[in-house]
Amino acid sequence: MADCHTQCKICRSGDMATGSRSRCAGSDSSFFSPKPLQCPHRFPEGEVMDTLHTRRASGPPVWSSLFALAFVVAASGLGTPAALAQALSPANAQRLYVFGDSLVDLGNVFIISRGTFPPSPPYFEGRLSNGPLWIEDLAARLNLPLQPSLEGGTGYAFGGATTGFKPSQPPPPGIPPGIPGVLAQVATFAETRPPVAPEDLFFVVAGSNDILLFGESDIDLLLDNVATALSELYAQGARTIVVTNLPPLSRTPLAGSDPQQVAALGVLTRTYNRKLERRLQLLEQTQPGLKPILLDAYALVLALIDNPARFGLTNVTEPCLTETAVCPDPEQYLFWDEVHPTAAVGRILADYAYAVLARSTLPAAR
């Protein structure tokens, strides 16, 4: 097993390291920023900035109800703490099911690698970050349990996962073979037939690995995979499904500085995001009772990059974890490694997702 710095070099050359507890660079660069499909307008950047800015001048970000309340008041009119609490009562959301890549992998890859991948420290307990993932922060706020599926939990995501059943080619060095893609994860879920209620929340986070890790440029193929996954989850009883679009992949440290590569990543990302929104709208129209919620990672990450000081960040271009050292203050960095966000940014993402869920009306119990 190569050490972390060797893996980072592998990732830098175009391969992506994924996993759970400690990881170098990975291709799962799906950040999250939300947009409910029922109101398909995109939040103005100024509104995103005003409502997301709740960080203290020093110390960790404020992720109390003030954040969610500020966003919800600005974006939707749920104007009181009582209304917010009612919108996201634990009695509404009974379970949280998660499918996708390393941005939401709670440790499945770490488990199948027998604790060797990714190395930890510097990574945190099987997560591709320096602390708990955003989805864990969100689950805690919703008072919902969330554990890896390989430990009997509802987190089916695997670091390195693509949108399909499995990668079209062997994984990069260091990544365990046989990583199940999103379609395979959903198939496992369907086979085990866990309990599903209309109020349960489902998250699907994928697409970055297909492009960054395996060089896939057939955007329609990726979207077919995502749509198939959502349709299968719907058939299993899922009604509220949260889907992330792609963050600006061309702005990650992994993208490098080659103008052609940066431009190509930009085109692929924007094309995917535009078509994803249309696919979700079509699914909503054709699947009675389905409520897809689109988390607009692209807009949120651009807001962080373009206005770092507003969020207590000082470095939004370089990774905190390099081949030789870890930065002294990860709380001020956007990127933990060459593609994954720090835990500090994860808390911002969780705040954003929480607010969007509060804005959306969860389906009533049958």
Residue 65 tokens, joined: 């109800």
With 50 as the cut, is the pLDDT of residue 7 above it?
no
For residue 271, the surrounding DSSP H or E stretch is: helix 259-286
Q: Which is more confidently placed, 84 or 108?
A: 108
Q: Cα(25)–Cα(27) distance, rounded to whole angstroms? A: 7
Q: What is the pLDDT of residue 46?
A: 40
Q: State the average pLDDT over residues 221-234.
A: 98
- pLDDT tens digit sequence for 329-352: 999 999 999 999 999 999 999 999
Quote the pTM value.
0.78
With 60 as the cut, is the pLDDT of residue 300 above it?
yes
Q: What is the pLDDT of residue 87?
A: 52
With 50 as the cut, is the pLDDT of residue 47 above it?
no
Band (pLDDT 50/70/90 cuts) for residue 313 is very high
Q: Cα(242)–Cα(352) distance, rounded to whole angstroms? A: 13
| Domain segments of the chain as ranges | 4-359
With 60 as the cut, is the pLDDT of residue 185 above it?
yes
> Which one-letter amino acid corresponds to residue 227?
A
Q: Using omega within 30 degrees of 0 as the cis cutoff, is the peptide bond preceding 330 cis?
A: no
Residues forming beta bridges with residue 124, ordered by sequence position: 127
Q: What is the pLDDT of residue 1?
A: 33
> Which 3 state secondary structure label does DSSP give 265?
helix
Q: Going by CATH, does the domain composed of 4-359 fall within 3.10.129.10?
A: no
With 80 as the cut, is the pLDDT of residue 256 above it?
yes
> Which 3 state secondary structure label does DSSP give 98?
strand
Q: Cα(42)–Cα(35) distance, rounded to whole angstroms? A: 7
Give 328's contacts (C-beta < 8 A, 6+ positions apart).
none
Q: What is the pLDDT of residue 99?
A: 99
With 60 as the cut, is the pLDDT of residue 57 above it?
no
Give 129's contacts (C-beta < 8 A, 6+ positions apart).
123, 336, 340, 341, 342, 343, 346
Q: Cα(53)–Cα(93) distance, rounded to whole angstroms? A: 27
> Which one-letter amino acid corresponds to residue 150?
L
Beta strands in the chain (DSSP E): 35-36, 96-100, 201-205, 240-244, 291-295, 315-319, 333-335
Residue 125 tokens, joined: 């307990």
Q: State the average pLDDT over residues 160-165.
A: 94
Q: What is the pLDDT of residue 44?
A: 34
Please give the share of the chain, as a percent, with pLDDT higher than 70.
72
Residues forming beta bridges with residue 292, ordered by sequence position: 241
Q: State the average pLDDT over residues 249-259.
A: 93
CB atoms within 10 A of CB 190: 13
- pLDDT tens digit sequence for 103-147: 999 999 999 888 877 778 888 888 888 889 999 999 999 999 999
Q: What is the pLDDT of residue 3?
A: 32
Return the top range by mean pLDDT from 49-53, 67-71, 80-84, 198-202: 198-202
With 60 as the cut, is the pLDDT of residue 83 above it?
no
Q: State the average pLDDT over residues 190-198.
A: 91
Half-sphere exposure of 116 (CA within 13 A, CB side): 10
Q: State the average pLDDT over residues 21-28.
A: 33
Band (pLDDT 50/70/90 cuts) for residue 4 is very low
The average confidence (pLDDT) of the chain is 78
